[in-house]
Each structure stands twice: as C-alpha cells, then as structure tokens.
Amino acid sequence: MDIKNFIKNYLEETKITLNLIEEDLSNKAEKIADLLEEARNKKNRIFIMGNGGSGSTASHFAEDLSKGTIVGDSLRYKAISLTDSISTILAWANDSNYDDIFVEQLKNLMEPGDVVIGISGRGNSKNVLKAIEYVNSKGAVTIGFTGYDGGKLKNCVKINMHVPSFNMQRVEDVHMLFIHLLTSLILEKEKSKNYIKNNMKEKILITGITGFAGSHLADYLLEKENIEIYGLKRWNLEKLRDVRHLLDNPRVTFLDCDITDPIGVRNIIERIKPDKIFHLAAESFVSPSWLHPNHYMDVNFKGTVNLLDAIRQTGINPRFLIPGSGEEYGEISESELPINEETILRPVNPYAVSKVAQDLIGFVYFKSYGLNVIRTRAFNHEGPRRDYVFGIPWYAYQIARIEAGKQEPIVKVGHIDDKRNFTHIRDLVEAYWLAMENCNPGELYLIGSDEQAHIYSFREVLNKLIEMSGARDIKIEQDPELVRPTVVPRLIGDTSKFRKLTGWEPKIPFEKILEDTLEYWRDFVKKGLY
C-alpha cells in the first residue's frame, strides 16, 4: 500500500468536497452564527446531539461555544451537549429505548426559543430525528449537520449544513472543520464588538433630557466611559434648571428640536445616527390631558412616530427605548393585582391612552420594519427634580413653604387614597439602561419596586412627609380643583420578568425617596426659584 499516495488522495478528495460546498458553507455559517447569537442574546440555550463520531463532535462543539467564544464581559453561550451525561443516556436506553436518549433530556430542559442542533452522518439517526420532531412542535430553532444524501434530517430542520460525500470519515472531518469555522467566526465578531465598545464612543440620544427622568439618566450615563450624549430640547420652551450642571460638559451636546416636527426630527437622526435612543420626551402630567387630549396625542404618539420613521428612513437601527407608564392599565380590580405584562389595559385618562398608542406603534415598527424597539412600562418613580405639579413633589413643595413661613400650615391635595409602588429615580434610570442593554426588542417589560416596603397610598406618603417636617400642626385639605375626573385606585406591578432577565433590583429605600424630595424642595424654596 502506497501510504503517501493514500494520504494525498484523501486530502485531495477532502479539498474537492470543500470546494463543492464553499459558497453554501459561507452562506450557512453566517446564518447559523446569527441564529446562535440571537439565542445567546435572549438567554436561550443551545442543545447539541449526535451518535458515535457525531456525538464527539457535539461535545466538542458545546465546549467550543461555551468557552471558546468568550471575549471580555460579553454574554456567554449556554451550549449543552446531550451526549455527555453517560448515566442519563444509559438510564433512558436501558429503561425505555435508545431512540429516546435525546428527546427525553429535551423534555426536561428545552424551552421555546432554544436552539437544537442534530448531527448525523447519514441524516437518519432515529434518536436525533425523534428529538428534532419533538422540539419542532415546541417552538425550538432546529439546525442539522448531515452527509451522504442528507437522509430525513435535512428536511426536518430550519437550516441544514450538508456535506455531499458518502465517506463517513470525510463527512465527520468537514463537520468538525465547520464547527471550528463557526466558532472562529463568532469569536472574531465578538472581538470586533469588544474593540468598538472599548475604543469607539457610543452615541446616545436622550429626548426629553431637560426633564426629570432625562436629566437623571444623563447623570447616570456620564459615569460610564466611551459615551457621547446628545439631548433634545425645545429652543424657546424648556426650563434648563435640571440640566444646568450639564450645560458646559463637553460630553453632552444639546440640540434644539421639537419631536412633533417630523422634518426637524429626521434632520437630527440623520446628523447624529445614534447607537441608542432613550425616548423620554413626553407630556407626562395626567391632569391637563382632559383639557388637551389632541396635544397629548401629538407629543406622545405622533412624536414617537416621527422618531421611528426617521430611523427607518435613515436606514439605521439603533436600540430605541419606549418608557411606558403604569397609568396605561387604568381601572384595575384588587383581584387583578399584581399587574403583569398580560394584564388587560383599561386606560381612564387621555394621557394613558396616548401612552398605550405610543407603546403599540413601537410594536408595529418592530413587527413591520424590524426596528429594535424596547418596550417598558414603569410604575411610579420619584425623587429630586420632579416638578411640583405631581403628587409627592407637590406635597413636599408645600411643606417646604410652610417650614419657611411662606404658606399657612395647610397642604392642599386632590384624591390621595390611590395606592402605588414607588421607585427612586436613580434606581429607575439604571433599570432603563439595563433594559436597553438586555431586553429583547418587541417584548414588554414592567419596571418598578414591587416590594411591600415600597407600596403606599398617597395619604400614607403625605403623612410620612409631615412626620419628617420640622413644622407642626399641618392640616390636610382637599381642593376640588385638584381632583381628577377619574382616578386609578391601585397600580402595583409584578416586575419579575424584567428582574430575572437583567438582575436589577431597587437599592434605595422608600424613606430616602421622601428625604431627597423634601430636601430638594426645601433648597428650592430657600433660593426662591419659583
């Protein structure tokens, strides 16, 4: 036997096989890499299976994906080889049937959106086919690696990488080469992203930067490196007191733009081409919405359409966060608490309707155009800089005036028996950042402090503020002018979906919310800013 000639022929035939599939290999490597990356980003798992040599390839692939694609603090691939648990395989093979060794593991482990990869030289391994048939019915993404004529497997999976050879060793050679090519491709993409992350400045646009949440978000982002902030303001209407400390910061650029002007919005988007957009600009005070329902729709709904359409027309696809409101739920009974993502919306004021419309048009642009819209609904958030037209700052402002001798010891209120869960604004803007970084486009997430220690009625909040005050004998008096036509008696959310995905939890206790708010308005009154 001529060993040299045998080796030469084997390698030549392998080269011929690779040449035959080069174009297909390139196309499918990119598609499979994208599917795996999508699963990784959604925190889904990747299951890999095969028999014999293909089983070894499955184990090798899982190791390469799990360990060999890590760059810095990037998200990791949750890859699991179903061939590795010998005791589990033997148990099912012995007590049931060898055809069940993979499907029964998947019945325990698989969830919708997971990826399942079946490797079979001839494409007819019964245990692989049975597992693929099962997971296809349960919402998994399926991928096949085959050889010979592809067998039954090639037609059972979403995407199949086929090696047109009837030599099993060559098929397995190319499968192994393919997984090394695939993991190398994923690794290089991760390195490129990491380089950009560490060496290029990320452009972040905040609409409504001069407002309560926008100004605190800007403060939070400035603690991070390699970020440039662009903030929209209306040139003749904005109060700049909440951002006066940012006006000379070289990392913050203020731009004049009214989001109700589609031409102006598009010019801004084309100029900046932001990587992320926190869309915080809104008409957010509920009470005037009954008098100006069209204006609330113009700003909250049409303004959002203007931004989304400018993104679409510019040909970019930044992550775009929509901060919805718990007010959207409206009329909620005790039996429906805690509110979750599936709770029925029954808005009872024009503001809430405009926010429902904003959220749903974001979903439309996600479904219709593939825009990276992050949908959230945040429950009550409080703290310094929130204007005194809102409940807690209104109480704190009046108490500060009473303490300063500028108001009689009477706090005027509207309806104060509604119950809410309250979050400090600094905790909330961190949650918005984590939502932008981790949440899946198109899905809805609730954000807030649902711990019992953060749940109070407005009456209880007011009494706590009065207890914190140095003033004595403060009375509470309802002012008919402050009572809204309809009320939302209870808004208490279940934010477990968001917390599980992001690891976020509120750090600042409820009492600190009240202390910070009261101190802010004491300073405000002392300086005579109103």
Q: In the predicted model, is pLDDT for residue 440 greater than 80?
A: yes
The per-residue pLDDT of the chain, averaged, comes to: 94
Range of lowest pLDDT (25-29, 110-114, 260-264, 293-297): 25-29
E strands, 83-163, in order: 115-120, 141-146, 159-162
Q: Is the pLDDT assigned to residue 238 strictly greater than 70?
A: no
pLDDT at 23 over 90: no
Output DSSP code: residue 203. E
Contact 217, 278 (CB under 8 A): yes
Give the lowest-confidence range in 12-16, 167-171, 224-228, 336-340.
12-16
Listed in sequence order, the residues at least 6 apart from 22 whose beta carbon sits closer than 8 Å to its beta carbon are none
Q: What percent of the chain has pLDDT over 90?
A: 85
Question: How far from the centroid of its chain's Cα atoms is residue 106's Cα?
Answer: 27
The predicted pLDDT at position 9 comes to 87
pLDDT value for 510: 96
Nearest to 361, CA basis, from 300, 431, 289, 432: 300
Query: Residue 193: its pLDDT value, please?
Result: 78
pLDDT tier, 500 (very low <50, low <70, confident <90, very high otherwise):
very high
What token pair was written down for 52?
Answer: 């014999």
Distance between CA 127 and CA 119 in Å, rounded? 11
Long-range contacts of 465-468 (CB under 8 A, 24+ apart): 465/392, 465/395, 465/396, 465/399, 465/514, 465/518, 466/399, 466/411, 468/514, 468/515, 468/518
- CA atoms of 451 and 515, how far apart (whole Å): 19
Q: Which residues pair with 233 in a beta bridge?
A: 256
Residue 387 has pLDDT above 80, yes or no: yes
Q: What is the largest CA-CA distance in the chain?
A: 109
Contact 203, 275 (CB under 8 A): yes
Answer whether residue 530 shows pLDDT above 70: no
- Using DSSP, state whether 253 is helix, strand or coil: strand
The confidence score (pLDDT) of residue 22 equals 83
**Pairing relationship of beta strands 372-378 and 419-421 according to DSSP bridges:** unpaired
Q: How confident is the model at residue 146 (pLDDT cuts 50, 70, 90)?
A: very high
DSSP collapsed to 3 states, 284-309: CCCHHHHCCHHHHHHHHHHHHHHHHH
CA distances for 490 relative to 380, 418, 456, 458, 482, angstroms: 11, 6, 10, 11, 18
What tokens were used for 23? 């174009």
Reading the block at residue 325, the tokens are: 């409101």
The pLDDT of residue 237: 65
> Which of 257-261, 457-461, 470-474 is least confident?
470-474
Confidence of residue 203 (pLDDT cuts 50, 70, 90): very high
Q: Any idea of the CA torsion for 9, 11, 15, 18, to the nearest 10 degrees? A: 120
Element at 50 (helix H, strand E):
strand 45-50
User: What pLDDT does residue 344 have?
Assistant: 97
Q: What is the pLDDT of residue 25?
A: 81
C-alpha pair distances (Å), 192 with each of 39, 71, 186, 274: 19, 10, 10, 19
The full length of the chain comes to 530
In this prediction, residue 15 carries a pLDDT of: 87
Q: CB neighbours (10 Å) of residue 137?
A: 8
**Interatomic CA distance for residues 6 and 433, integer angstroms:** 60
* Of 49-53, 171-175, 235-239, the least confident: 235-239
pLDDT at 420 over 90: yes
Summarised one tens digit per residue, pLDDT across range 107-135 is 999 999 999 999 999 999 999 999 999 99
Domains and CATH numbers, the chain: 3-195 (3.40.50.10490), 201-526 (3.40.50.720)
Taking the C-alpha atoms of residue 118 and residue 321, their distance in angstroms, rounded to an integer, is: 37
Listing DSSP states for 374-390 in one string gives EEEEE--EE-TT--TTS
Q: What is the pLDDT of residue 251?
A: 96
Average pLDDT over residues 333-354: 96
DSSP helix/strand/coil, 136: helix
Q: What is the mean pLDDT of residues 502-507?
A: 95
Q: Which of 413, 500, 502, 506 is closest to 461 using CA atoms?
A: 413
| pLDDT at residue 397 greater than cutoff 80 | yes
Residue entry with tokens 């405009």: 354
Whether the pLDDT of residue 159 is over 70: the answer is: yes
Spatial CB neighbours of 71, under 8 Å, sequence gap ≥ 6: 187, 190, 191, 193, 194
| 387 phi-psi bin (left φ>0, alpha ψ -120 to 50, beta other) | beta
Which of 8-12, 198-202, 206-210, 418-422 shows the lowest per-residue confidence on average (mean pLDDT)? 198-202
Mean per-residue pLDDT for 148-165?
94
Q: In this model, does residue 239 exceed pLDDT 90?
A: no
**46 strand-pairing partners:** 79, 115
pLDDT of residue 10: 86
For residue 189, pLDDT beyond 90? no
Q: Which amino acid appears at position 83 of this protein?
A: T
* Whole-number Å distance between alpha carbons of 391 and 169: 73
Over residues 90-117, mean pLDDT: 94
DSSP code, position 80: E
